[in-house]
Every structure is written in structure tokens, then in C-alpha cells.
Structure 1
Amino acid sequence: MAKLHFRYAAMNAGKSTALLQVAHNYDSLGKRMMLVKPSVDLKGGDRIVSRLGVERPVDFLWADGEPLNVTKADYDVILVDEAQFLSPRQANDLLDVAVRVGVTVIAYGLRTDFRGDSFPGAARLLTVAHEIEEIRTLCACGSKATMNLRSINGVPVFAGDQVAIDDGSVQYESVCAACHQRFREEAGASWD
């Protein structure tokens, strides 16, 4: 039976690298796959880009409201990068592809944003996915990183648009909850 898998992590944990490795494995087995990313993800244009320098073109840049036309005859697996940027409707569509169409879906993404809030797509995937797997990474302090810290020109920020793609002035790092809270307090930011 096909399943919907959601593999999540903090920033810089290697999610895109893991997806590209899975794609390589399916390729080596001669399996048919579709690589997808939300059209709102502007990083890399029409490519899945790993910070390690590995990249691959996507087959489908998926806009919210656009159908995901998939049949069992066409694909063995669908791999989705940056799944946090999906809408809840798109997450439901992925579940439908796994359950109704019978094609395995493996989605990779962040669980939370820099403020510690859920991304709507990730929240829905955490709710409906058959299997959920955390990809672990470390904070600079050595603890398990579970949060994302956004800095603009080197200064941690806790307010602003949920989505801000790296452009040189915006940086992200994975941090543990304790370090995230410490940076939050130093910035005078509250959870409100």
C-alpha cells in the first residue's frame, strides 16, 4: 500500500540532500518518479538545490489550486521538497495521491518557522501523513536543534513575514529551544 511520508527537520539538516539521495536511489532502480516543489519557493528556481552543491531539476512547480495530475501508471513515487510551503489543500492532495491513486509520496520540509509557529502545509502533513520522521541536526551549543533562527544582517529577528527566502541579508540557522529562547529574550521579543 502506498503511503504519505513527511520527513521534517530544522534548517540545514540536509532535507534537500536526503531527497536528492532518495531520487538517486529510485533512479538506480529504474523507478518512475516526479520531483515537485511549491511554486512559492523561489530558491533555486525550477531546481531542488542542496547546500552541499547537489541539485536537480523539478518536474513540477506546484501552485496552490493547481491539480496534481498523477496516475499509478505514470509514477512509482512523488518526492516533494520544501513541503512547509504547501497549502493545507495541497497536503490533502498528497494524501489523496497516496490513498486513492496508490503512489507513494515522500515530502520533506520544516516543521516550524523562525518564530516557532507552524507552517500551514507542515501542520497539515503532521496531521495526515502515514509516517512522520524527524531528520536530526545540532545546535551550535551541541543540543538537538528543533527551532529555526532568522537573522537579518547578523541580528536575530522574531517578527516579520513567515516566508523570506535567503537573499544575502537574511540568514537562517538551526538552534535548540533553549538557544532560541535566549536569543528571543535578548531581542526583547515575546511569544505573542
Structure 2
Amino acid sequence: MAKLYFYYASMNAGKSTTLLQADFNYRERGMATMLFTAAIDDRYAKGTITSRLDVSANATTFDPETDIAAIVAAAHAHEKVACVLVDEAQFLTSAQVDQLAHLADVVGIPVLAYGLRTDFQADLFPGSARLLALADSLVELKSVCECGRKATMNLRVDEQGRAVVAGAQTEIGGNDRYVALCRKHFVAARQASAAAGA
């Protein structure tokens, strides 16, 4: 039976690298896959999933209006799709996560979704919340805080490296805008920034 998997982590934990490795494993065995990534993520070339190890693959972009299930079903009718892999899954809508569950449950295609669990304020993204509710398997990928403990939080920083404590939930960025920290250092950095009036 096909399953819906949610691989979640903080920034810089290797989510895209892990996705690309899974895709390679399927393709090496002659199986077709479909890759999706968020259209809003403009850090690299549009329509590509790129890891920090400089490995990349082409992908179909999605935005809130994209019917992922319909795209996969159309492709599956021409060539059997062995697996669907979704990067930046935190940007999925709840309805799109339901579509992924449908692909696993009804169409019989395994779906591997990779994304952040929480935003820079430690709040769940809507897509991540729905994945946590529906996924058959939840897998935490590990990242490391500056202190050596497991990093679970995503600290947004300004140009001077100070914690940003307010703003829109989504702001695309990499190491220039986000730092993965353990909860203790995440809270301490936000408190220090708030106390300094930043």
C-alpha cells in the first residue's frame, strides 16, 4: 500500500539533498518519478530543486491554485509514476495535502513530501500542519545548532545577523536570512533582539 511521508526539519538539514537522492534511487531502477517545488521559492532557477551540495533536478512548480493530483493523474495515464516527491512542502495548501493523500490512498502512488515544520515565529505552516495530521509516516531530519544540539527552529535574521521577531510568515531566503537553532538559543536570540528594540 502506498503511503504519504512527511520529512520535516529546520533549515539546512539536507531536505532537498535527501529528496534528490530518493529520486535518483527510483530513476536508477528505471522507475518514473514526478518532482514538485514551490513556485514562490526563487533562490535558484525556477522549476528546479537545488541542494546546498549543488545537486539539482527539474521539477514542476506549484502555487496555491495548482491541482497536483490532476497533473500526476494525467502523467500516470501515459507512463506509470512510481513516486511523487515534493520539495518546500510547507507551502502546500491544506487542499493540496489532501490531494497528495488521495494519490497515495486511491491512485496507489507513494508521496514523499519534504519541508519545514515551523516558521520563524515557531508557528506551523498550513501545509506542514496538514501533513502532520495526515501523513502515514513522519520523519524528522536532523540539523545542528551552533551549540551542537539538535536544531529544530528557524531564526530569521536581518543584515546584521540580529533576530527578526515580526513580519510576514513567508520570506524566501537561505543562510543570509535564516539560522537553524535549538529551541534554547532560538528563544534567547529572539529575546535579545526584542530587548534591544530590533
- Give yes or no for TM over 0.5: yes
Find the aligned partners of 1:184 and 1:149 in 2 and give their Cα distance: 8
- Counterpart of 2:35 in structure 1 is 35
C-alpha contact (below 8 Å) 1:41/1:85 kept by paired residues:
no
Higher mean Cα deviation, 71-80 or 174-183?
71-80
Cα distance in 2, alignment partners of residues 64 and 97 from structure 1: 18
Q: 1:4 to 1:167 in 2, by over 3 A?
A: closer
- 1:98 aligns to 2:98 (yes or no): no
Identity over the aligned pairs, expressed in percent?
44
Instruction: Report the CA distance between 1:62 and its aligned residue.
Output: 1.5
Give the whole-Å Cα distance in 1 for the aligned partners of 2:104 and 2:148: 37
| Cα RMSD after superposing both structures | 1.5
In structure 2, distance between residues paired with 1:66 and 1:28: 29
Alignment of 1:41-120 (within 5 A): 41-44=41-44, 45-58=46-59, 60-68=60-68, 69=70, 70-71=72-73, 72-73=76-77, 74-120=80-126
* Equivalent of 2:134 in 128, 132, 144: 128
Distance 1:18 1:41 in 2: 18
User: How many residue pairs are counted as aligned between the two chains?
Assistant: 187
Match of 1:152, SS?
A: coil
1:28 maps to a residue whose letter is: E
Letter in 2 for 1:57: N
Structure 2 equivalent of residue 151 of structure 1: 157
Paired with 1:120 and 1:86, the residues of 2 have a C-alpha distance of 7
8 Å contact kept, 2:165–2:194: no
Distance (whole Å) between structure 2 residues aligned to residue 107 and residue 7 of structure 1:
6
CA contact (8 A) 1:151 1:157 kept: yes
Quote how far apart the aligned CAs of 1:102 are.
Answer: 0.7
Q: Equivalents in 2 of 1:67, 1:110: separation in Å?
A: 21
Q: Normalized per residue, which structure has more helix?
A: 2
Any gaps of 5 or more consecutive residues in structure 1?
Answer: none
User: C-alpha displacement at 1:167, in angstroms?
Assistant: 7.5
Which residue is 1:7 aligned to?
Answer: 7
Q: In 1, distance between residues paired with 2:155 and 2:110?
A: 32
